[in-house]
Structure 1
């Protein structure tokens, strides 16, 4: 029954996007239906027992093997701390296991880009999107790049076209960045969810890889509902991936540059977590005091909240939406908390909360397997308030003439990216095996 409820979630999420549309009279019916069907088809192929699932499993095993190889560098740097990660301290485990994997994956992605592997993968996915959704080559290329690269690196693939894009196309570029994750941070999420179990790591690689791929058509659907095309499309003749202005001299240079970029990203992630977790604790102090007030405490008890904090508020606010997505009602508050943490704080904190829900520190029963996998799909994206500034800054640097449009579109694009991730979770929840 919960699987069928996911159909309601699809309608609700698309309806929310239509509610903030800049032109409600231009609803792209064909694109919406085609995009949702493409998402469902890709999810079936990648998650179900189909002839092509062997390819997905092989890719998942290859990524898992690459992550296992990163342990050599981590063990060299941290020594015994790798095998005894802080006696269950999540912060220390994240520092020792997750952040170094970001550096390794960034280096590996840079090597693959230098060898031309990433360009071929991006071009293949762009071709699929262009042929099935009947969108422009530039739009398909930008969205496909977001599946494999970060929200500020992917637009570099279409840098020559950014200045003359329509507002609808520009919104799609931004929404795609918010709706997907970078390959470099994929490793951190896998380490948090899978821990030291090779089978669990391989399973989460497959789930997150699928989430990232099928979020691409979701980004198209929601972006075009929110900002429909109302302008004449610019001329484009066989758009190709733009070459980097300062390419790596050789394979070793590419690996070194990637490691440096990964280090910056890892430091940025660590800094954001320190700041946002501390701010969350600060906000929870007055909320906790308010929750202990007589009348408020009674009302909270009536709705099943033992302690008032921001996490409880997130759970209460987003629980109804989580239910429409197909989450069992008894787990909707936990799922809603994850949605709120990811949207308001950062996806890294939400993934940590999910990891604790899967493996409770007190040894109690964890969240159900289906809900955990749906949550991973819902969290697989950069849509949060902090990312708005990152996107505006990154895109303004490569398309300074569009800064005004970027600022105006940013909030809608971020909401569109969040809705796209949730739409992906709804569809995945309907088709994933029991």
Structure 2
């Protein structure tokens, strides 16, 4: 028979205050808990005032349950159950209590067994095939290093900081004198390095170096508060750029590592073809962009969502943000968003600091927006790689532009107020809200659908508008016997000086200027698509000019253009940024709108500065079509006689004479290069069949 129990009225005191009683929750298991287990913080580093005793703070200490009443209710419930149910409940309760008592031991046991099996796997793989297992070994060692580093800092970080306080105090007291020695030493080191590098490799590195200085001076001259510029941020931002670029572009380990990483990313993205083939059929690549490129965005978004759920992205972002904060001296919010923009997009990275957005200074808001404009999202990174843009350059640009964005933004709009948040350790990054990894993957795929639709819609619209504008300009130009007049022609002449100051070859600078115009007035997808056409034309070895128009550029110019285009700084993104940030911080909409145009300019210049650093540091491998084109026709830096002879020899070997006047080429060579080599080395090929 059902028992008649009095309704428990002790919850009324809580409900009268709009607070749910933490003791009387649904479920028998929760009713047996005498106290709630609450977090020590509320997610943003603030102590929870209801941590120890919620009833005490509510003034309802009498609301605590009576243990005798609880036991009586449990006994009454057990009487209502059958013997099998009581046995099952007793068995389950025993297991549950055992797990609660030994929870840590069980977790550590399973973790230890997993790690033991993993290390055994790594060792066995290294013994069987060390070359194949080298990447796994390196990643494992890096993970071990950071785990022990985190443990070390957690235990001894405060002691180390305390021991370094005398040094910090000394530097603060004498920094006005010491900084001039530091800045002078850095300046002398850069000048000496540039002089030695120029003497060894030619003058290609000089122009982008002075281009970088020119961009910094222009930003300083038009700064919102020129007298408030903190040069530590500027110098350290450029120094981090230079260090990253030097390691990646000039050292063999760094170059090999990023080339290997680029190959792995390309291989990883190829797995998208499995899903595309299943949905669209075996001939899906016939519609390459729609069925091969856009699905990559969905795949990459899924992976990023899974990494967020596991907490890997938050951990990585915190590490990069910490590095930029301690070196550049920027606020935790700026550093966090800048680090996040290496991996996620312009509207996703501010979500990392969403609870703190209303408290940001206007300079910090400007910095957050500039960082978004100066970088690209990881989800579209894969799409650009699939177009044929070198993966290593895109990955390098994403890393280098993060400190550049902070340096340029804090010069263009310096800080004049005190930030309310000065400690990175007080910022808590939450994991994904999904219940499990499968839900996280599904959520990531679903979240990419609007992005894919937006990319496709924007490309259709912008390319249609571009065609209309070009037709209109051609119609106007035909009135003056110049039907080639187009939007690209205008951009190529207006923006050519900016491209040239990045270190692009003079003849290539018109093409790069055209790409910069497309990126700024339309979007970077349109620009990268056009750049991929130039790359494919060069690799195919087609003619350099068709109807008087240049068809491709040198490998070095392609690399510099890749860095300059690697950012969301365009007028279309301006609306996205204002709308996204405005929805996260409605009370700051006026401040967000007021600094949007400046942030767009700062993001653009940050990309240009990254391209300048790449122009100073990047040295392409000996690519003979580039050597011949620049030496014989572009009036570029003269190649050594040995390189020229070697390249002409390769050209002769790659040329096949089918019929008189009918010659085929491979590896990017063409008839124009063959003519030039025949002038220099007439005995190397049957040049009589080439020149009448």
Per the normalisation by structure 2, the TM-score is 0.57
Give the aligned length.
408
Asked if 1:393 corresponds to 2:579, the answer is yes
| 8 A contact 2:331–2:421 mirrored in 1 | no
2:471 to 256, 281, 285: 285
Higher relative contact order structure (alpha carbons within 8 Å, sequence separation ≥ 6) = 1
1:321 Cα deviation (Å)?
A: 1.2
| 8 A contact 2:262–2:391 mirrored in 1 | yes
Asked if 1:74 corresponds to 2:271, the answer is no
Q: More deviation in 61-70 or 261-270? A: 61-70
| 8 A contact 1:9–1:324 mirrored in 2 | yes
Superposition pairs for residues 317-332 of structure 1, below 5 Å? Answer: 317-332=494-509
Superposition pairs for residues 204-223 of structure 1, below 5 Å? Answer: 204-223=390-409
1:55 Cα deviation (Å)?
A: 4.4
Asked if 1:313 corresponds to 2:490, the answer is yes
Asked if 1:2 corresponds to 2:2, the answer is no
CA offsets, 1:214-271, max 9 Å, x none? 1001101110111001112213442425326x71111111111111111110110000
In 2, Cα distance between equivalents of 1:385 and 1:152: 15
In 1, Cα distance between equivalents of 2:336 and 2:216: 24
1:118 alignment partner in structure 2:
313
Superposition pairs for residues 386-425 of structure 1, below 5 Å? Answer: 386-425=572-611
2:136 alignment partner in structure 1:
none
1:314 Cα deviation (Å)?
A: 0.6
| 8 A contact 1:338–1:350 mirrored in 2 | yes
In 1, Cα distance between equivalents of 2:241 and 2:587: 34
In 2, Cα distance between equivalents of 1:176 and 1:373: 22
In 2, Cα distance between equivalents of 1:69 and 1:240: 36
Asked if 1:430 corresponds to 2:607, the answer is no
1:363 alignment partner in structure 2:
542
2:341 to 146, 164, 171: 146
In 2, Cα distance between equivalents of 1:56 and 1:9: 26
1:248 alignment partner in structure 2:
434
Classify 1:239/1:291 alpha carbon distance in 2 versus 1 (closer, same or farther; 3 Å).
Answer: farther
Q: More deviation in 380-389 or 22-31? A: 22-31
Q: More deviation in 7-16 or 113-122? A: 7-16
Specify the SS of the correspondent of 2:283: helix
Classify 1:329/1:55 alpha carbon distance in 2 versus 1 (closer, same or farther; 3 Å).
Answer: closer
1:338 alignment partner in structure 2:
515
**Could you list the runs of 5+ residues in structure 1 that have no partner in the other structure?**
86-91, 195-203, 301-305
CA offsets, 1:110-168, max 9 Å, x none? 11111111112111211211122122222111110111111001001011211111111
2:458 alignment partner in structure 1:
272
Classify 1:241/1:273 alpha carbon distance in 2 versus 1 (closer, same or farther; 3 Å).
Answer: farther
In 2, Cα distance between equivalents of 1:392 and 1:240: 24
1:191 Cα deviation (Å)?
A: 0.5
Specify the SS of the correspondent of 2:495: helix
**Could you list the runs of 5+ residues in structure 2 that have no partner in the other structure?**
1-202, 545-551, 621-692
2:292 alignment partner in structure 1:
97
Asked if 1:22 corresponds to 2:224, the answer is yes
2:387 to 192, 212, 215: 192
Classify 1:112/1:58 alpha carbon distance in 2 versus 1 (closer, same or farther; 3 Å).
Answer: farther
Higher helix share: 1
Asked if 1:59 corresponds to 2:261, the answer is yes
In 2, Cα distance between equivalents of 1:291 and 1:362: 31
Specify the SS of the correspondent of 1:355: helix
Classify 1:133/1:236 alpha carbon distance in 2 versus 1 (closer, same or farther; 3 Å).
Answer: closer
